[in-house]
Homo-oligomer: A and B are copies of this chain.
Amino acid sequence: MTEKSYPKGSAFPPLTKGKLRLYSMRFCPFAQRTRLVLAQKRIPHETVNVDLKEKPEWFLERNPLGMVPTLEQDDKVVYESLITCDYLDDVYPQNRLTPADPYRKAQDAMLVDYYGSKCIPNYYKVMRTEGKDEEAKETLTKALQKLDEEVSKRGKFFGGEQVAMIDFMLWPWFERIGLLKSAAPDLLPSATKFPKLFAWTQAMLQEPAVKATLFDLDTHMIFVQSYKDGKPNYDIGLER
């Protein structure tokens, strides 16, 4: 099966009975959450990358919102990144990633919610405005400060001494945080700035699931530039 993205008008790649399929886009951080969980739990699956600008008709039939990640298996379809990850953790209970303790689970859910409302949108605002949106920079700085404090209370990972669901839910935007280096150099975690958060990023880079789904910064930059130019290159590095 090709890694190249399927565009509008392409033929539907047939499903295999019982086989789990992920609809993804190679550079999508939300889909990476699901890819991290699939890798960490060693869940057998196949991946179909879709062209998010010119979406295949058969993709929109499965998910009318037209978003990745989307999972499909036989007659089941699941989408929304957090929901797909919880679903995989429920269906494949080996190496459980979500805390069993209800309060710890609630704390992680609150942190992911906070991250989704304070970090993710402001990360994109800072990038889009090339650092000129001071309010976005300030909110993002405060949020990173909070994450730095939080991880220092929790351990090596947000999950404690072991990597857990929460770490994978936060990771994709940290893989890409170097994209802000010219727009907002003060926001980049380092040994002196957000040091606990920086140590966490270094620990994450050693995790097999992170290594398995990682693109280097240069590749992310090429993708973002192609996206800004209105011609997103979903197939960077793949054979033509």
- Determine how many copies of this chain the complex contains: 2
Residues of B within 8 A of A11 (CB): none
Chain B residues, Cβ within 8 Å of A12: none
The distance from the CB of A169 to the nearest CB of chain B, in whole angstroms, is 14
A217 interfacial by beta-carbon distance below 8 Å = no
Check if A113 sits within 8 Å of B76, measured CB to CB: no
Interface residues of A: mostly helix, strand, loop or mixed?
Answer: helix
Interface string of A46-82 (1 = CB under 8 A from B): 0000000000000000000000000000001011100
- Among the listed B83, B102, B105, which residue makes an inter-chain contact with A106, where contact means beta carbons less than 8 Å apart? B83
For A76, A91, A102, A106, the residue with the greatest tally of chain B CB atoms inside 10 Å of its CB is A106
CB within 8 Å of B: which A133-176 residues: none
Interface size grouping (class) on chain A = 10 to 19
Chain A 76-116 interface 0/1 with B at a Cβ cutoff of 8 Å (1 = within): 10111001101100110000000000110111011001000
Q: How far is the CB of A95 from chain B (nearest CB, A)?
A: 16
CB of A222 to closest CB in B, whole Å: 31
The winner among A83, A91, A105 for most chain B CB atoms within 10 A is A83
Q: Is A105's CB under 8 angstroms from B80's CB? A: no
Q: Is the CB of B91 within 8 A of A102?
A: yes
Residue contact B76 to A110, C-beta cutoff 8 Å: no
A113:B83 contact, CB within 8 angstroms? yes
* Apart from A78-B110, A87-B102: 7 A-B pairs, beta carbons within 8 A: A78-B106, A83-B106, A83-B109, A84-B106, A87-B105, A90-B106, A91-B102
Query: What are 16 A-B pairs with beta-carbon distances under 8 A?
Result: A76-B103, A78-B103, A78-B106, A78-B107, A78-B110, A80-B109, A80-B110, A83-B106, A83-B109, A83-B110, A83-B113, A86-B106, A87-B105, A87-B106, A90-B102, A91-B102
